Amino acid sequence: MTVTDTHRAIDAVWRIESARVIAGLARIVRDVGLAEELAQDALVAALEQWPESGVPDNPGAWLMATGKHRAIDLVRRRERLERKQEELSREIEARPELAAPDLDAAIDDDIGDDLLRLVFTACHPVLSTEARVALTLRLLGGLKTEEIARAFLVPESTVAQRIVRAKRTLAETHVPFEVPAKDELPARLSSVLEVIYLVFNEGYSATAGEDWMRPALCEDALRLGRILAELVPNEPEVHGLVALMEIQASRSRARVGPSGEPVLLLDQDRGRWDQLLIHRGFAALERAEKLGGGVGPYALQAAIAACHARARTPEETDWGRIVALYDALAQLAPSPVVELNRAVALAMAFGPAAGLELVDELTSEPSLEGYYLLPSVRGDLLAKLGRFDEAHAEFERAASLTQNARERRLLLERARLTRH
């Protein structure tokens, strides 16, 4: 394996393992900012050693063990951490599994799940909502600052400042690394749900890089969502989010072609959709609806996804119902992105001209200025109306805005097909 191949392998390992490593270290040092620093130190060590020694059989355990040793060294070096030395030593002596090659059992422990603790710690009320989401995306998903910025449609510098301030605030206020008590859970759920879904979306449609999808992120988000559903079984929006993720995840195999290229929803082989996940999604949606109290944004989006899942062919899709659901979603949680999705549904139900009228209104929306899906949708509608020169320009603009290589190639191919 070449050095370049090894570095690629390390990047892939980091994407998959970083959240568990950070969470495991945070349980030991009780400081999420420090835990991330230690995990980054372990990553640097991997970059230095693995090109010569090779990628270990259990790279996650290697990173965790290296981070643990860095923690011990740090405790010895820093006077401000002296009081933690005895605690850390006792933790390691009492739990020898922390040094074992396979750390999965030590990291995954039922409701006391370290990843869930990490989410709730990063989503503590002492932080602003924006800081909670940004920090958790960084710690849980291993996402870069620029990727989080694209998810929020805000400048990269803004996200970087939020993360730095959030870590400082958590350390200064001594926020405990724990799942909150049940009486505190409802007030903490909203930002946690937002975080989980953003992590899922980064896995479902990667904002950057060569891969169209990052399945490990989807799996982590689904796992956290299912844990939450067991923790708070009477919260309908938790089940709504789980339903939405289950149904969307059911399409994963059909969303990628033989060479890794993206396959859009209406072009997918629906026989490849995972029926088990679809039925799990239907069941979660039913639980959300039976709990009453009004249908929330996640349950509405899950109902939209269910419309697609019930249609055996694209032609059988109930676009009228989807438009109605988007109307309700726009009333409950208005946003430019919701309006863009509603425009697509309007175009499918009532023709491309109806959708284009709404899309044209969104072109002046500042938050969508760099959002590649706006010109992509507009290009699609223009092409359906036979306005190929305009469509060509829109697809090229969309290709210039996306940071995902697979997406860019797809958009450039669509631009080529509209060249006249």
pLDDT value, residue 280: 97
Q: Which H/E stretch holds residue 159? A: helix 156-172
Q: pTM of the predicted model, to two decimals? A: 0.73
100 three-class SS? coil
Half-sphere exposure of 98 (CA within 13 A, CB side): 21
**pLDDT of 116 over the 60 cut:** yes
- Binning pLDDT at 50, 70 and 90, where does residue 212 land? low
Q: Are 140 and 17 in contact (CB under 8 A)?
A: no
pLDDT value, residue 385: 96
Q: DSSP assignment of 286-305, as one string?
A: HHHHHH-S---HHHHHHHHH
Q: Are 122 and 140 in contact (CB under 8 A)?
A: yes
What tokens appear for 190 in the block?
Answer: 């909203």
Q: What is the mean pLDDT of the chain?
A: 86
> What's the rounded mean pLDDT across residues 51-66?
89
pLDDT value, residue 83: 58
Q: Which H/E stretch holds residue 404? A: strand 403-404
Does 196 fall in a domain?
no
**Spatial distance between the Cα atoms of 43 and 258, rounded to a whole number of angstroms:** 32
**pLDDT of 291 over the 50 cut:** yes
Does 398 fall in a domain?
no
**pLDDT of 319 over the 90 cut:** yes
**pLDDT of 181 over the 70 cut:** yes
User: Which has more pLDDT, 311 or 109?
Assistant: 311
Does 373 fall in a domain?
no
pLDDT value, residue 90: 61
**pLDDT of 418 over the 80 cut:** yes
User: Which of 117, 151, 118 is closest to 134 using CA atoms?
Assistant: 151
pLDDT value, residue 377: 97
Q: To the nearest 5 percent, what fractions of the chain are helix, strand and coil? A: 75, 0, 25
In tens, the pLDDT along 354-411 reads: 999 999 999 999 999 999 999 999 999 999 999 999 999 999 999 999 988 889 999 9
User: Which has more pLDDT, 217 or 99?
Assistant: 217
Distance spanning both ends of the chain, measured CA to CA = 46
**pLDDT of 99 over the 50 cut:** no
User: Which of 182, 183, 188 is closest to 127 using CA atoms?
Assistant: 188
In tens, the pLDDT along 4-33 reads: 788 888 888 887 788 888 988 888 888 888
**Spatial distance between the Cα atoms of 18 and 39, rounded to a whole number of angstroms:** 7
Does 276 fall in a domain?
yes
The domain in which residue 305 lies consists of 233-334
Does 191 fall in a domain?
no
- Burial (CB count within 10 angstroms: exposed 0-12, middle 13-18, buried 19+), residue 187: exposed
Does 62 fall in a domain?
no
User: Which has more pLDDT, 376 or 207?
Assistant: 376
User: Which of 104, 109, 99, 20 is closest to 66 using CA atoms?
Assistant: 99
> How many domains does the structure of the chain reveal?
1
- Binning pLDDT at 50, 70 and 90, where does residue 298 land? very high
Does 247 fall in a domain?
yes
Does 139 fall in a domain?
no
What tokens appear for 221 in the block?
Answer: 């988000």
> What's the rounded mean pLDDT across residues 141-153?
76
